[in-house]
Structure 1
Amino acid sequence: MTLTRPQPGEYSEGYAPYIAAAPEGDPLALLQAQADEVAKLFAGISEAQGAYKYAPGKWSLKDLIQHLSDGERIFAYRCLRIGRGDTTPLPGWEENDYAATAQADARSLADLLADFQAARAATLTMFRGMPDAAWGNQGTTNNRSITARCIPYICLGHVAHHLTVIRERYLPGLK
Protein backbone atom coordinates (compact mmCIF):
# COMPACT_ATOMS: atom_id res chain seq x y z
CA MET A 1 0.00 0.00 0.00
CA THR A 2 1.22 3.46 -0.88
CA LEU A 3 -0.70 6.42 0.45
CA THR A 4 -0.21 9.70 -1.32
CA ARG A 5 -1.04 13.15 -0.04
CA PRO A 6 -4.70 13.99 -0.58
CA GLN A 7 -5.56 16.64 -3.12
CA PRO A 8 -7.92 19.59 -2.67
CA GLY A 9 -11.38 18.34 -3.49
CA GLU A 10 -10.94 15.26 -1.30
CA TYR A 11 -11.47 17.34 1.83
CA SER A 12 -13.03 20.61 2.85
CA GLU A 13 -11.00 23.66 3.75
CA GLY A 14 -11.69 22.96 7.43
CA TYR A 15 -9.26 20.04 7.23
CA ALA A 16 -6.65 21.88 5.16
CA PRO A 17 -4.53 23.14 8.11
CA TYR A 18 -4.00 19.63 9.50
CA ILE A 19 -3.26 18.13 6.08
CA ALA A 20 -0.83 20.98 5.37
CA ALA A 21 0.88 20.42 8.74
CA ALA A 22 1.55 16.75 7.94
CA PRO A 23 5.18 16.27 6.88
CA GLU A 24 6.10 14.84 3.50
CA GLY A 25 6.86 11.14 3.28
CA ASP A 26 5.26 7.79 4.02
CA PRO A 27 2.39 8.70 6.37
CA LEU A 28 2.44 5.37 8.22
CA ALA A 29 6.17 5.58 8.92
CA LEU A 30 5.69 9.21 9.94
CA LEU A 31 2.84 8.28 12.30
CA GLN A 32 5.14 5.76 14.01
CA ALA A 33 7.99 8.26 14.22
CA GLN A 34 5.61 10.85 15.62
CA ALA A 35 4.51 8.43 18.37
CA ASP A 36 8.17 8.06 19.30
CA GLU A 37 8.55 11.86 19.27
CA VAL A 38 5.58 12.25 21.64
CA ALA A 39 7.03 9.63 23.98
CA LYS A 40 10.41 11.35 24.03
CA LEU A 41 8.90 14.79 24.62
CA PHE A 42 6.66 13.69 27.47
CA ALA A 43 9.39 11.54 29.04
CA GLY A 44 11.15 14.79 29.93
CA ILE A 45 8.12 16.23 31.74
CA SER A 46 7.66 15.55 35.45
CA GLU A 47 4.37 14.58 37.05
CA ALA A 48 4.07 18.04 38.64
CA GLN A 49 4.82 19.71 35.31
CA GLY A 50 2.00 17.70 33.73
CA ALA A 51 -0.48 19.98 35.51
CA TYR A 52 1.09 23.12 34.02
CA LYS A 53 -1.14 25.49 32.04
CA TYR A 54 0.57 28.27 30.10
CA ALA A 55 -2.37 30.65 30.71
CA PRO A 56 -5.61 30.73 32.70
CA GLY A 57 -8.38 28.79 30.99
CA LYS A 58 -5.95 26.72 28.89
CA TRP A 59 -5.51 22.97 29.11
CA SER A 60 -2.84 21.40 31.27
CA LEU A 61 -0.21 19.26 29.59
CA LYS A 62 -2.13 16.25 30.91
CA ASP A 63 -5.32 17.57 29.30
CA LEU A 64 -3.42 18.04 26.06
CA ILE A 65 -2.10 14.49 25.87
CA GLN A 66 -5.58 13.20 26.74
CA HIS A 67 -6.87 15.32 23.85
CA LEU A 68 -4.32 13.69 21.53
CA SER A 69 -5.64 10.26 22.53
CA ASP A 70 -9.27 11.31 22.11
CA GLY A 71 -8.55 12.84 18.71
CA GLU A 72 -6.63 9.78 17.59
CA ARG A 73 -9.53 7.49 18.41
CA ILE A 74 -12.12 9.73 16.78
CA PHE A 75 -10.10 10.15 13.58
CA ALA A 76 -9.41 6.39 13.42
CA TYR A 77 -13.11 5.60 13.92
CA ARG A 78 -14.00 7.98 11.13
CA CYS A 79 -11.47 6.31 8.84
CA LEU A 80 -12.85 2.87 9.70
CA ARG A 81 -16.41 3.91 8.91
CA ILE A 82 -15.50 5.69 5.68
CA GLY A 83 -13.01 3.02 4.63
CA ARG A 84 -15.67 0.35 5.04
CA GLY A 85 -18.00 2.27 2.73
CA ASP A 86 -20.32 3.66 5.41
CA THR A 87 -21.71 6.91 4.03
CA THR A 88 -23.68 7.82 7.16
CA PRO A 89 -22.71 11.41 8.06
CA LEU A 90 -20.55 11.38 11.17
CA PRO A 91 -20.92 14.11 13.79
CA GLY A 92 -18.25 16.48 15.01
CA TRP A 93 -17.01 16.52 18.57
CA GLU A 94 -16.53 19.28 21.09
CA GLU A 95 -12.96 18.96 22.32
CA ASN A 96 -13.44 21.27 25.29
CA ASP A 97 -16.37 19.20 26.56
CA TYR A 98 -14.25 16.07 26.24
CA ALA A 99 -11.41 17.72 28.14
CA ALA A 100 -13.73 18.92 30.89
CA THR A 101 -15.10 15.43 31.55
CA ALA A 102 -11.94 13.37 31.01
CA GLN A 103 -10.35 14.43 34.31
CA ALA A 104 -6.89 13.97 32.85
CA ASP A 105 -5.22 15.76 35.77
CA ALA A 106 -6.32 12.88 38.02
CA ARG A 107 -4.31 10.41 35.92
CA SER A 108 -0.57 9.95 35.91
CA LEU A 109 1.41 11.35 33.03
CA ALA A 110 2.82 7.88 32.40
CA ASP A 111 -0.70 6.45 32.10
CA LEU A 112 -1.79 9.20 29.73
CA LEU A 113 1.28 8.67 27.57
CA ALA A 114 0.69 4.90 27.51
CA ASP A 115 -2.91 5.59 26.46
CA PHE A 116 -1.79 7.74 23.54
CA GLN A 117 0.77 5.14 22.49
CA ALA A 118 -1.91 2.42 22.57
CA ALA A 119 -4.33 4.54 20.55
CA ARG A 120 -1.65 5.32 17.95
CA ALA A 121 -0.60 1.66 17.73
CA ALA A 122 -4.23 0.64 17.13
CA THR A 123 -4.60 3.36 14.50
CA LEU A 124 -1.49 2.16 12.69
CA THR A 125 -2.67 -1.46 12.77
CA MET A 126 -6.01 -0.45 11.27
CA PHE A 127 -4.41 1.77 8.62
CA ARG A 128 -2.01 -1.01 7.61
CA GLY A 129 -4.93 -3.42 7.19
CA MET A 130 -7.09 -1.07 5.14
CA PRO A 131 -7.58 -2.39 1.59
CA ASP A 132 -6.05 -0.13 -1.05
CA ALA A 133 -9.42 0.57 -2.67
CA ALA A 134 -10.88 1.75 0.65
CA TRP A 135 -8.66 4.84 0.79
CA GLY A 136 -10.68 6.48 -1.99
CA ASN A 137 -14.00 6.03 -0.22
CA GLN A 138 -15.76 9.30 0.51
CA GLY A 139 -17.73 10.20 3.60
CA THR A 140 -18.90 13.12 5.66
CA THR A 141 -17.58 14.14 9.06
CA ASN A 142 -18.73 17.22 10.93
CA ASN A 143 -20.72 18.25 7.82
CA ARG A 144 -17.53 18.14 5.73
CA SER A 145 -16.78 15.87 2.80
CA ILE A 146 -13.62 13.77 3.09
CA THR A 147 -11.97 10.64 1.69
CA ALA A 148 -10.50 7.98 3.95
CA ARG A 149 -7.07 8.77 2.47
CA CYS A 150 -7.10 12.17 4.19
CA ILE A 151 -7.37 10.81 7.70
CA PRO A 152 -3.80 9.55 8.23
CA TYR A 153 -2.64 13.02 7.20
CA ILE A 154 -5.13 14.64 9.56
CA CYS A 155 -3.83 12.45 12.40
CA LEU A 156 -0.28 13.56 11.60
CA GLY A 157 -1.19 17.21 11.28
CA HIS A 158 -3.32 17.28 14.41
CA VAL A 159 -0.52 15.93 16.61
CA ALA A 160 2.09 18.08 14.82
CA HIS A 161 -0.01 21.16 15.58
CA HIS A 162 -0.19 20.31 19.27
CA LEU A 163 3.52 19.45 19.48
CA THR A 164 4.23 22.94 18.17
CA VAL A 165 1.93 24.43 20.81
CA ILE A 166 3.72 22.42 23.51
CA ARG A 167 7.15 23.57 22.35
CA GLU A 168 6.17 27.22 21.89
CA ARG A 169 3.78 27.81 24.79
CA TYR A 170 4.25 25.12 27.43
CA LEU A 171 7.91 24.20 27.52
CA PRO A 172 9.20 27.79 27.95
CA GLY A 173 7.07 28.08 31.11
CA LEU A 174 8.52 24.88 32.55
CA LYS A 175 12.08 26.21 32.63
Structure 2
Amino acid sequence: MPTTINRPGAEEYPSTYQGYLDYLPEGEVLYLLEKQSADLRHMFKNISEERAEEAYAVGKWTMKELLQHLIDAERIFGYRALCFSRAEQADLPGWDENRYVYNSLANIRPLVQLLDEYELARRSNLAMFRSFTAEMLSSYGVANGNSMTVRGLIHVLAAHELHHIKILEERYLKRK
Protein backbone atom coordinates (compact mmCIF):
# COMPACT_ATOMS: atom_id res chain seq x y z
CA MET A 1 0.00 0.00 0.00
CA PRO A 2 1.25 3.51 -0.73
CA THR A 3 2.61 5.31 2.32
CA THR A 4 1.82 8.71 0.81
CA ILE A 5 -1.04 9.96 -1.30
CA ASN A 6 0.22 12.42 -3.88
CA ARG A 7 -1.64 15.63 -4.60
CA PRO A 8 -4.20 15.08 -7.37
CA GLY A 9 -3.97 16.61 -10.80
CA ALA A 10 -6.65 19.13 -11.79
CA GLU A 11 -8.36 16.46 -13.90
CA GLU A 12 -8.93 14.31 -10.79
CA TYR A 13 -11.59 16.50 -9.17
CA PRO A 14 -14.31 18.92 -10.32
CA SER A 15 -13.12 22.49 -10.84
CA THR A 16 -15.77 23.64 -8.34
CA TYR A 17 -13.50 22.26 -5.59
CA GLN A 18 -10.46 24.27 -6.66
CA GLY A 19 -11.18 26.97 -4.09
CA TYR A 20 -11.09 24.35 -1.34
CA LEU A 21 -7.91 22.76 -2.66
CA ASP A 22 -6.22 26.16 -2.63
CA TYR A 23 -6.37 25.88 1.19
CA LEU A 24 -4.27 22.72 1.21
CA PRO A 25 -0.69 23.09 2.35
CA GLU A 26 2.03 21.08 0.67
CA GLY A 27 2.69 17.77 2.36
CA GLU A 28 1.13 14.43 3.09
CA VAL A 29 -2.66 14.49 3.15
CA LEU A 30 -2.95 11.58 5.60
CA TYR A 31 -0.86 13.50 8.13
CA LEU A 32 -3.08 16.54 7.61
CA LEU A 33 -6.23 14.46 8.16
CA GLU A 34 -4.78 13.11 11.43
CA LYS A 35 -3.75 16.58 12.55
CA GLN A 36 -7.17 18.03 11.77
CA SER A 37 -8.79 15.64 14.22
CA ALA A 38 -6.52 16.73 17.08
CA ASP A 39 -6.75 20.40 16.09
CA LEU A 40 -10.54 20.35 16.02
CA ARG A 41 -10.79 18.84 19.50
CA HIS A 42 -8.31 21.44 20.76
CA MET A 43 -10.36 24.27 19.19
CA PHE A 44 -13.44 23.15 21.09
CA LYS A 45 -11.79 22.38 24.45
CA ASN A 46 -12.84 25.64 26.13
CA ILE A 47 -16.17 26.09 24.34
CA SER A 48 -19.23 25.76 26.56
CA GLU A 49 -22.37 23.94 25.47
CA GLU A 50 -24.22 27.27 25.33
CA ARG A 51 -21.53 28.94 23.24
CA ALA A 52 -21.42 25.94 20.86
CA GLU A 53 -25.15 26.45 20.23
CA GLU A 54 -24.68 30.04 19.02
CA ALA A 55 -24.46 31.09 15.40
CA TYR A 56 -22.36 34.04 14.27
CA ALA A 57 -25.34 35.49 12.35
CA VAL A 58 -29.04 34.85 11.85
CA GLY A 59 -29.61 31.90 9.54
CA LYS A 60 -26.07 30.52 9.95
CA TRP A 61 -25.16 27.21 11.53
CA THR A 62 -24.16 26.97 15.17
CA MET A 63 -20.76 25.56 16.06
CA LYS A 64 -22.42 22.23 16.91
CA GLU A 65 -24.15 22.23 13.54
CA LEU A 66 -20.88 23.01 11.78
CA LEU A 67 -19.29 20.08 13.59
CA GLN A 68 -22.21 17.85 12.60
CA HIS A 69 -21.70 18.97 9.00
CA LEU A 70 -18.07 17.85 9.22
CA ILE A 71 -19.21 14.47 10.56
CA ASP A 72 -21.72 14.08 7.74
CA ALA A 73 -19.13 15.09 5.14
CA GLU A 74 -16.64 12.63 6.65
CA ARG A 75 -19.11 9.79 6.26
CA ILE A 76 -20.31 10.77 2.80
CA PHE A 77 -16.83 11.34 1.38
CA GLY A 78 -15.65 8.10 3.01
CA TYR A 79 -18.51 6.18 1.41
CA ARG A 80 -17.75 7.73 -1.95
CA ALA A 81 -14.06 6.81 -1.60
CA LEU A 82 -15.05 3.23 -0.78
CA CYS A 83 -17.40 3.03 -3.77
CA PHE A 84 -14.91 4.56 -6.21
CA SER A 85 -12.10 2.28 -4.97
CA ARG A 86 -14.32 -0.74 -5.58
CA ALA A 87 -15.13 0.32 -9.14
CA GLU A 88 -18.76 1.26 -8.46
CA GLN A 89 -20.38 2.22 -11.76
CA ALA A 90 -23.45 3.97 -10.37
CA ASP A 91 -23.60 7.76 -10.14
CA LEU A 92 -23.75 8.38 -6.40
CA PRO A 93 -26.26 10.97 -5.19
CA GLY A 94 -25.47 14.45 -3.96
CA TRP A 95 -26.67 15.72 -0.61
CA ASP A 96 -28.32 18.83 0.75
CA GLU A 97 -26.02 19.81 3.63
CA ASN A 98 -28.52 22.31 5.04
CA ARG A 99 -31.25 19.67 5.22
CA TYR A 100 -28.82 17.21 6.80
CA VAL A 101 -27.78 19.75 9.44
CA TYR A 102 -31.38 20.74 10.18
CA ASN A 103 -32.48 17.12 10.60
CA SER A 104 -29.43 16.16 12.68
CA LEU A 105 -30.66 17.98 15.80
CA ALA A 106 -27.00 18.66 16.59
CA ASN A 107 -27.85 21.41 19.08
CA ILE A 108 -29.50 19.00 21.51
CA ARG A 109 -26.46 16.70 21.59
CA PRO A 110 -23.56 17.13 24.02
CA LEU A 111 -20.53 18.71 22.38
CA VAL A 112 -18.23 15.95 23.61
CA GLN A 113 -20.46 13.37 21.93
CA LEU A 114 -20.19 15.20 18.60
CA LEU A 115 -16.40 15.45 18.95
CA ASP A 116 -16.13 11.73 19.76
CA GLU A 117 -18.28 10.82 16.76
CA TYR A 118 -16.21 13.02 14.47
CA GLU A 119 -12.99 11.45 15.73
CA LEU A 120 -14.30 7.90 15.23
CA ALA A 121 -15.49 8.65 11.70
CA ARG A 122 -12.12 10.22 10.83
CA ARG A 123 -10.13 7.32 12.32
CA SER A 124 -12.26 4.85 10.38
CA ASN A 125 -11.69 6.71 7.12
CA LEU A 126 -7.95 6.98 7.75
CA ALA A 127 -7.74 3.22 8.21
CA MET A 128 -9.60 2.71 4.94
CA PHE A 129 -7.53 5.31 3.05
CA ARG A 130 -4.33 3.58 4.19
CA SER A 131 -5.63 0.29 2.78
CA PHE A 132 -5.97 1.66 -0.75
CA THR A 133 -3.50 0.60 -3.40
CA ALA A 134 -2.07 3.04 -5.95
CA GLU A 135 -4.57 1.66 -8.47
CA MET A 136 -7.49 2.26 -6.09
CA LEU A 137 -6.35 5.83 -5.43
CA SER A 138 -6.40 6.45 -9.19
CA SER A 139 -9.88 4.97 -9.62
CA TYR A 140 -12.57 7.31 -10.88
CA GLY A 141 -16.16 7.46 -9.78
CA VAL A 142 -19.11 9.80 -10.19
CA ALA A 143 -20.98 11.56 -7.38
CA ASN A 144 -23.60 14.24 -7.87
CA GLY A 145 -22.81 14.21 -11.59
CA ASN A 146 -19.10 14.94 -11.03
CA SER A 147 -16.24 12.62 -11.88
CA MET A 148 -13.23 12.38 -9.59
CA THR A 149 -10.57 9.98 -8.37
CA VAL A 150 -10.27 8.53 -4.90
CA ARG A 151 -7.06 10.58 -4.50
CA GLY A 152 -8.95 13.73 -5.49
CA LEU A 153 -11.77 12.90 -3.09
CA ILE A 154 -9.40 12.42 -0.13
CA HIS A 155 -7.76 15.77 -0.82
CA VAL A 156 -11.14 17.49 -1.20
CA LEU A 157 -12.19 16.03 2.18
CA ALA A 158 -9.13 17.55 3.87
CA ALA A 159 -9.55 20.86 2.03
CA HIS A 160 -13.28 21.04 2.82
CA GLU A 161 -12.47 20.75 6.50
CA LEU A 162 -9.79 23.45 6.26
CA HIS A 163 -12.41 25.72 4.70
CA HIS A 164 -14.77 25.18 7.64
CA ILE A 165 -12.01 25.51 10.24
CA LYS A 166 -11.15 28.89 8.76
CA ILE A 167 -14.81 29.93 9.08
CA LEU A 168 -14.89 28.61 12.64
CA GLU A 169 -11.78 30.63 13.56
CA GLU A 170 -12.78 33.84 11.78
CA ARG A 171 -16.51 34.03 12.37
CA TYR A 172 -17.19 32.08 15.54
CA LEU A 173 -14.12 32.06 17.77
CA LYS A 174 -13.15 35.70 17.23
CA ARG A 175 -16.60 36.75 18.46
CA LYS A 176 -16.89 37.52 22.13
Which of the five TM-score ranges fits, normalised by the shorter chain? Answer: over 0.9
- Secondary structure of the corresponding residue to residue 139 of structure 1: strand
* 1:58-69 → structure 2 map (5 Å cutoff): 58-69=60-71
* 1:1-175 → structure 2 map (5 Å cutoff): 1=2, 2-173=4-175, 175=176
Query: How far apart in 1 are the matches of 2:96 and 2:65?
Result: 14
- Secondary structure of the corresponding residue to residue 9 of structure 1: helix
* Residue identity opposite 2:67 in structure 1: I
Contact 1:53 1:61 in 2 (8 A): yes
**TM-score normalised to the size of structure 1?**
0.96
Query: Percent identity over the alignment?
Result: 39
Structure 1 stretches of 4+ with a deviation exceeding 4 A read none
Deviation of the 1:18 alpha carbon: 2.2
- Secondary structure of the corresponding residue to residue 12 of structure 2: coil
Unpaired stretches in structure 1, ≥5 consecutive residues? none
- Two-structure CA RMSD over aligned residues (Å): 0.9
Contact 2:13 2:153 in 1 (8 A): no
Deviation of the 1:22 alpha carbon: 2.1
**TM-score normalised to the size of structure 2?**
0.96
Contact 1:18 1:153 in 2 (8 A): no
Deviation of the 1:44 alpha carbon: 2.0
Provide the aligned length of Structure 1 versus Structure 2: 174
Contact 1:6 1:150 in 2 (8 A): yes
